[in-house]
Amino acid sequence: MANRKPYVGGNWKMNLHRGEAHALARQLRQTLTMADKVEVTVMPAFPYLIEVAEILKGSAIKVGAQDFYTQANGAFTGEVSLSMVKDCGCQVVLVGHSERRHVIGESDALINEKVLAALGAGLEVILAIGEKLDQREAGKTDSINAGQVCLGLAGVKAEQMAKVTLAYEPVWAIGTGKTATAADAQNAHLAIRKTVASLYGQTVADGVRIQYGGSCKPSNAKELFSQPDIDGGLIGGAALKAVDFKGIVEAAL
Ligand code: PEP
């Protein structure tokens, strides 16, 4: 059985203004003493990346960007490049979040471009995938996940997979208070790992971390994270309060 270090990501989304983001970063720095046993990344909104990274500098908590654009520089109004997010102190980028896929309208092709660009720039990637409710009800969970994994990772080399974490986030569970049962989530994670094995072989599949995301909170995290193929979580709402996020990180120990 592979020994995967648990990994918890906090996606702050378009929440927390400057003072709130600073305060949360300070609280996490003070209270997340277990961050060497569990890998932890927080993803603030763009305007606060530099300051949050400064507050967390020297701690085990990494900073990630929720998005970026694939081009290096130039006439791309409103966009932010990978070298800019690196310059702000980011080591990690999130790609393929369901809000980018289904609210902003990002395609699998763009998501794949982003994955390749981020890995090419030496950043770690959290690639989020997951089915919508109608797809789940039609029994398509595993095929949707397999498709998003294959398309998202197209062109990624086996040796680059050490920098890739997958996040299984059933869309119907994100921000809704509905959580997949631990058994359902485990089944989906196992199927995702098999897809990775079909692409890269069992050793890579055994090494890749697969986070669960979707209304994860301190009260359900332990059961989810104790499943053999669930290696931590990608957290939205519960990442906005230090006490809740700490509870989830502790559940991953
Ligand atoms: C997310 O946005 O990735 C997420 C899982 O959100 P929440 O925890 O609020 O469901």
Rounded Cα gap, residues 80 and 67, in angstroms: 8
With respect to residue 81, please indicate whether it lies within any of the assigned structural domains.
Answer: yes
Amino acid 1: pLDDT: 46
Query: Would you say residue 1 lies in a domain?
Result: no
**Residues of the domain holding 108:** 7-230
pLDDT number for residue 195: 98
CA of 196 to the centre of ligand 1 (A): 23
> Domain for residue 183, yes or no?
yes
State the CATH number of the domain containing residue 115.
Answer: 3.20.20.70
pTM listed for this prediction: 0.97
* Cα–Cα–Cα angle for 214, 124, 232, rounded to 5 degrees: 35
Per-residue pLDDT at 169: 97
- Which of 43, 169, 245 should be mutated for ligand 1, with most atoms under 8 A from CB? 169
Report which of 55, 152, 172, 145 is spatially closest to residue 94, judged by C-alpha positions. Answer: 152
Give the helix ranges, DSSP H, for the chain: 18-31, 49-56, 82-87, 98-99, 108-120, 133-137, 141-152, 182-200, 202-207, 218-225, 242-251
* Ligand 1 centroid to residue 42 C-alpha, Å: 13
The stretch 141-161 carries a mean pLDDT of 98
In the chain, the number of structural domains is 1
**237 within some domain:** no
Question: Are 168 and 145 within 8 A, CB to CB?
Answer: yes
What's the pLDDT at 35?
Answer: 60
Q: Annotated catalytic residue: which of 99, 131, 169, 189?
A: 169
Give the model confidence (pLDDT) of 154-199 as tens digits: 999 999 999 999 999 999 998 888 888 999 999 999 999 999 999 9
Q: Is residue 168 part of a domain?
A: yes
Q: Is position 95 within any domain?
A: yes
Q: Give the model confidence (pLDDT) of 75-128 as tens digits.
A: 999 999 999 999 999 999 999 999 999 999 999 999 999 999 999 999 999 999
Contacts for 107 with CB less than 8 Å, ≥ 6 apart: none
- What percentage of the chain reaches a pLDDT higher than 70? 99
Q: Provide the 3-class DSSP secondary structure of residue 241.
A: coil
